[in-house]
Amino acid sequence: MTGINSKLALLKIDRSEVAEAAPGRRKLAMLGIAGVVVCALAAGWFGATRFRAVAAPTATAPPASAPAPAGVPAGRLTASGFVTARRRTTVASEVTGRLREVRVEEGQQVRSGQVLAVLDSSVIDREVTMLQARLASSQSAAQAAAADLADAQDTLARTTKLSATGFLSTASLNHDRRRVDSLHAQLARGNSDIVAARADTARLQAQRGQYEIRAPFSGVVVDRNAQSGEIVSPISGAGGFTRTGICTIVDMDSLEIQADINEAFIGQVHEGQTVDAILDAYPKQVIAARVLAIIPTVNRDKASVRVRIAFLNNDRRVLPDMAVKVSFNQSTTTRE
């Protein structure tokens, strides 16, 4: 047993040595952690300083114009814009009514004055017919009054001669005179009725013409907003069930470019200046244009001035709202 106990005693751990070594290890661990923190702070400070040094030169003003498109010589003032139509309108009805027929489709060419749509005019047609009958009645009454007046005037002439010779009394003469005056009044009233009936007929016929919606100018239909059977009106109805527009027409001959130029470079642009326009849809085709007008106002948000640019020749490939790049020809003298 004594041998076994001595062997077991060799297996025991001396806690005193561990306790003495523990404070030293703790100190080493704390020093290692402190070194890591110091290295991390130094790396963060160095990175931030380097980021500020690199980012500072890039904080410049944005470019004044768009990049020069392909095929345009470098050094020219360039800008981006869109194709717009100066004459574009949504055709609406002047009166409220139900569409009986719409005679146009999208993409159709129309002429000025061409009938685009027809409203149901059955009610106003009956009113026109009634007024025409009234006009005919007034004309007949006026003709009858004119005939009676002529007869009464002949009778008065005979009565006047007989009264002068003493064969008829003064009372008979006065009676014939009053009848002539009455017929004069009837004829005047009949003529007034004719004038009124004609005016009412002309008014209703003019209103009847409003039931045929016509094109205000020649162009192309780009949108059809209403269908046959729908109610149209010059003002919107409750709930949005009433159409206010029938179709939209664009005059393709009025297409132009509107571009925004940075105000710092607007001095390089003047009216009449030649421009090369390149549509995004046709990047290899250069279209000749010129500056039409410079809008005398500045957009505060974009610090830009709007410029109107006209095409020198009509090109059927150019469509409204197309994106376009423009390059201003600087070969001519710039106006101050």
Q: What is the pLDDT of residue 276?
A: 95
Q: What is the mean pLDDT of residues 69-87?
A: 78
Structure confidence by residue, pLDDT tens digits, 284-317:
999 999 999 999 999 999 999 999 999 999 888 8
CATH superfamily name and code, 77-86+253-328: Efflux pump adaptor protein, beta barrel domain (2.40.30.170)
Least trusted range by pLDDT, from 53-62, 73-82, 186-195, 230-239: 53-62
State yes or no: pLDDT of 333 exceeds 50.
no
Domain boundaries, the chain: 15-57, 77-86+253-328, 88-120+211-250, 122-209
Residue 116 has pLDDT above 70, yes or no: yes
The values of phi and psi at residue 296, to 5°, are -80, 60
Residue 56 is predicted with a pLDDT of: 36
- What would the mean pLDDT of 47-64 be, rounded to a whole number? 40
Asked if 256 and 278 touch (Cβ cutoff 8 Å), the reply is no
Q: What is the phi/psi pair of residue 117, to 5°?
A: -155, 160
Is the overall model pTM greater than 0.85, yes or no? no
Which two structure tokens, joined as six digits, stand for 51? 């980021």
Region 242-253: mean pLDDT is 90
Nearest to 107 by CA among 221, 246, 218: 221
Percent pLDDT > 90 in the chain is: 39
* Beta pairing class for 219-224 and 231-232: unpaired
Identify the CA nearest to 212 among candidates 111, 90, 114. Answer: 114
Structure tokens at 275: 């421009």
Per-residue model confidence as pLDDT tens digits over 163-206:
777 777 778 778 878 888 888 888 888 888 889 888 988 888 88
CA distance 280 to 260: 17
Tokens of 6: 């001595």
Mean pLDDT value across residues 115-128:
90
Q: What percentage of the chain reaches a pLDDT higher than 70?
A: 74
- Tell me, what amino acid is at 184? H
The architecture that CATH gives domain 88-120+211-250 is Beta Barrel (2.40)
CA–CA separation, 232 and 99 (whole Å): 7
**Ramachandran angles phi, psi of 60, nearest 5°:** -105, 170
